[in-house]
C-alpha cells in the first residue's frame, strides 16, 4: 500500500541518519574517556580501540531505541506540519491506523534491542572488564609506555621511559620518582634493563644519578652518581580475584542467582526491551500533543520524554538493589503504566475523545433532572 510504503521509506531514512549521528557522538565521548583511562594506567594504550568498540556495542540498545523514537516523532511531526495528517484523517484513517506501518518497520529493531540488552550487553561488559583486569595484573614496569609518565599501582612511584627495546626488557632515558615513609628519591639513568637474579626481578640502571631527600620539611639532600645501579622490583601483580559486577554477568546466571543486585540488573535489561516497545507507542502520541509546534518543538519534547523514562529505569534499578521495591512490581508500575497511558492516549485521539465532550452530556443530564 502507498500509505505503508511511504511511511516506511521516510522512517528508514530518518532512522539511519539519526543512528549514524548518535553512534558518532557516543564513539567520540567514549574515545575521550578511554584515552583518559589509558593515560591513568587503567587501560592498555594498545587496547584503546578494543575497549571503545566493546563499549559502543554495549550502548547500542539505547542508541537504537533513541534513533527509532526520534525517527517516528520526526516523521509524524512533518506530516502534521505539512497538513498531510489531515488528509489521512479525512480519508478515514485515524491515529491508531499508523501503528501498523510503524510496527512493521520497528519489529526487527525491537528484536535487535532485546538480543543486545539480554545477551550482548553483559558480554561486552565482561570483555572490557577482562581487558582492564589483565592490564592491572601486570607489574608496574610492564605497564610503562614509552614517552608517558606512569604511576605505580600503589601510587608510591612514577616511572618514565623515553624509548624501549622490541622485547620490552630494556629502555633508554629512564626516570623513577618514589616517595616512601616521608622520604623521596629521584633516579635517572641513560639506560635500564630488567634482569632476574636468584628468582627475583631487578631493574639495572646504567650511567645515571640519584637524588635523595631523607625527610619531608628538611633542606638536606644527597646526590650520588653511578655507573651501574640495581633496584629490586617488587612483585606488584594484583593477586586478588575480581568479582564480576552484575552488569557483566550473563542473563541466565542472573535468573539462577536472584540476589538484589542481580534482580536490579535483570530489571534494567528487561526494561530496555520493554521501554523500546513503549516508546514506539509514545512516539505516536507526542506529535499530536502540540501539532503546531513543528518538528523542532516535538523533538525537544521527545528527548525530554526519553530522558525522563530512562532516568526512571535507572531509579528503579537503584530501588530494587536497595530492597525498596520488588522487580515485578517495578516492571508493572513503570512499563505497564507507560504502556497503558500510551494506548489510552492513542485511543482517545483515534476516537476524538475529550474531557469537554465527556462532560457536556453529564451536564445536560443533570440540568434535565433538576428541571
For 36, how many CA atoms within 13 A lie in the half-sphere containing its CB?
6
How many angstroms separate the CA atoms of 254 and 104, rounded? 32
The number of beta carbons lying within 10 Å of the beta carbon of residue 311 is 10
The number of beta carbons lying within 10 Å of the beta carbon of residue 15 is 22
How many angstroms separate the CA atoms of 368 and 67, rounded? 53
How many angstroms separate the CA atoms of 8 and 346, rounded? 20
Query: Residue 95 has what pLDDT?
Result: 63
Query: Residue 264 has what pLDDT?
Result: 92
For 173, how many CA atoms within 13 A lie in the half-sphere containing its CB?
9
pLDDT tens track, the chain, 371 positions: 555 677 778 888 899 999 999 999 999 999 998 888 877 767 777 788 888 999 999 999 999 999 999 998 888 888 776 666 656 555 656 666 667 778 888 899 999 999 999 999 999 999 988 888 777 665 555 555 555 666 665 666 777 776 655 555 667 777 777 777 777 888 888 887 777 677 666 777 888 888 877 766 666 777 788 888 877 765 544 344 456 788 888 999 988 988 898 999 999 999 999 999 999 989 888 776 665 666 677 788 888 999 999 999 999 999 999 889 999 999 999 999 999 998 888 777 666 555 455 455 554 555 445 54
Q: What are phi and psi of 169, to 5 degrees?
A: -105, -15
Model's pTM, two decimal places? 0.71
Query: Residue 301 has what pLDDT?
Result: 86
Nearest to 263 by CA among 272, 254, 271: 254
Query: Residue 120 has what pLDDT?
Result: 93
Length of the chain: 371
Q: Are 255 and 45 in contact (CB under 8 A)?
A: no
Query: Residue 355 has what pLDDT?
Result: 47
Measure CA 214 to chain center.
47
Question: Which three cell numbers, joined as nine digits, stand for 56?
Answer: 559502543
How many angstroms separate the CA atoms of 332 and 326, rounded? 10
Side by side, the strands of the sheet bearing 170-180 are: 150-151, 157-164, 170-180, 183-197, 200-213, 222-232
Amino acid at each position: 500500500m502507498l500509505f505503508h510504503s511511504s511511511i516506511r521509506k521516510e522512517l528508514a531514512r530518518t532512522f539511519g541518519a539519526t543512528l549514524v549521528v548518535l553512534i558518532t557522538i557516543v564513539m567520540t565521548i567514549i574515545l575521550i574517556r578511554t584515552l583518559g583511562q589509558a593515560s591513568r594506567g587503567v587501560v592498555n594504550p594498545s587496547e584503546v580501540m578494543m575497549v571503545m568498540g566493546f563499549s559502543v556495542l554495549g550502548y547500542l540498545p539505547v542508541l537504537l531505541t533513541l534513533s527509532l523514537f526520534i525517527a517516528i516523532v520526526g516523521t509524524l511531526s512533518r506530516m502534521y506540519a505539512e497538513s498531510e495528517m489531515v488528509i489521512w484523517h479525512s480519508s478515514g484513517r485515524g491515529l491508531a491506523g499508523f501503528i501498523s506501518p510503524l510496527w512493521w518497520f520497528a519489529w526487527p529493531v525491537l528484536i535487535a534491542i532485546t538480543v543486545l540488552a539480554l545477551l550482548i550487553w553483559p558480554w561486552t561488559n565482561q570483555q572490557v572488564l577482562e581487558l582492564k583486569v589483565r592490564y592491572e595484573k601486570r607489574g608496574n614496569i610492564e605497564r610503562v609506555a614509552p614517552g608517558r609518565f606512569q604511576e605505580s599501582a600503589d601510587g608510591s612511584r612514577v616511572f618514565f621511559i623515553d624509548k624501549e627495546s622490541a622485547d620490552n626488557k630494556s629502555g633508554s632515558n629512564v626516570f623513577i620518582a618514589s616517595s616512601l615513609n616521608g622520604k623521596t628519591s629521584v633516579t635517572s639513568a641513560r639506560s635500564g634493563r630488567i634482569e632476574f637474579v636468584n628468582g627475583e626481578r631487578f631493574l639495572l640502571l646504567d650511567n645515571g644519578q640519584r637524588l635523595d631527600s631523607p625527610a619531608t620539611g628538611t633542606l638536606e639532600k644527597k646526590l650520588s652518581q653511578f655507573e651501574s645501579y640495581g633496584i629490586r622490583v617488587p612483585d606488584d601483580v594484583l593477586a586478588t580475584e575480581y568479582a564480576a559486577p552484575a552488569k557483566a554477568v550473563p542473563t541466565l546466571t542472573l535468573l539462577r542467582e536472584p540476589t538484589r543486585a542481580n534482580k536490579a540488573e535483570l530489571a534494567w535489561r528487561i526494561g530496555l526491551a520493554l521501554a523500546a516497545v513503549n516508546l514506539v507507542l509514545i512516539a505516536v502520541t507526542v506529535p499530536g500533543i502540540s501539532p503546531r509546534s513543528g518538528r523542532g518543538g516535538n523533538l525537544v519534547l521527545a528527548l525530554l520524554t526519553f530522558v525522563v523514562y530512562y532516568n526512571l529505569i535507572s531509579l528503579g534499578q537503584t530501588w530494587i538493589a536497595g530492597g525498596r521495591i520488588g522487580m515485578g512490581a517495578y516492571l508493572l508500575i513503570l512499563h505497564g503504566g507507560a504502556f497503558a497511558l500510551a494506548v489510552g492516549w492513542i485511543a482517545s485521539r483515534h476516537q476524538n475523545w475529550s474531557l469537554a465532550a465527556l462532560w457536556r452530556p453529564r451536564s445536560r443530564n443533570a440540568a434535565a433532572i433538576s428541571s
